[in-house]
Amino acid sequence: MNDGFASIAPEWRRDAAPVPYEEAVATMEARVAAIHAGTARELIWLVEHPPLYTAGTSAVAADLLEPGRLPVFKTGRGGQYTYHGPGQRVAYVMLDLTRPERGQSRRDVGCHVWRLEEWMIRALARFGIAGGRRAGRVGVWVARDPGHDDKIGAIGVRVRHWVTYHGLALNIDPDLGNYAGIVPCGISSKASGHGVTSMAALGVKETIADVDTALRDTFDVVFGSTSTCKS
């Protein structure tokens, strides 16, 4: 691998208009190839999508409850079904895991997932929201009633040539009703008592620009050269 960009901080890109899902995947795959080849910097890409469902590599057909409700896209990221739409900040994170600072040890995918969670937890804390992890459940959750957690941030990751892509989806103020068309991330509210929430549903009215600022401000402490993880 050409390491001409090894000492350069990631590029940040934010698209104002919703990005079609297939276009986003094609853009990520091209960038991952360029990062691996050493011809492009790592990239943090902040987007929204039109309303749609994506099916990860572990998706179960029965979890698509309303097949005709929204477009469905199969994707190579890990995980099951999830919803994307306006009011949700999707952060596509393209980082080279062969760089020493990207893990407690080189090529540590578990550390990368932990850091994506930590990144959302720290950003949410800026707005007074106590997000956290739950054993056996990837993503970021908030406690509601005793024994009841709602998911506010989802994670789906793919790695090619040790360069990550896909990333996280943080619910700011999306249409939560669209989650009714799927069993999101395999978590059925009826069976598990857990659901899905957003910052707005928790009473925190912030703009996507405000959240982007929080994500930018907390990135380096989570992904920087002196950070650690607990994968």
Residue 37 CA to residue 56 CA, distance in Å, equals 26
Assess contact for 13 and 45: CB atoms under 8 A.
yes
Give the C-alpha separation, 121 to 56, whole Å.
23
3-state helix, strand, coil in the chain (%, to 5): 30, 25, 45
| Cβ–Cβ under 8 Å, residues 50 and 81 | no
Tell me how many degrees the CA angle 130-194-143 measures, rounded to the nearest 5. 20
Token code pair at residue 99:
């760089």
CA angle 40, 208, 64 (to 5 degrees): 85
Catalytic residue annotation: 185
If one counts every other C-beta atom within 10 angstroms of the C-beta of residue 136, the result is 5
CA distances from residue 107 to 41, 71, 96, 99, 111 in whole angstroms, order as listed: 18, 34, 9, 8, 9
Q: According to DSSP H, which parts of the chain are helical?
A: 21-37, 109-125, 189-192, 208-223
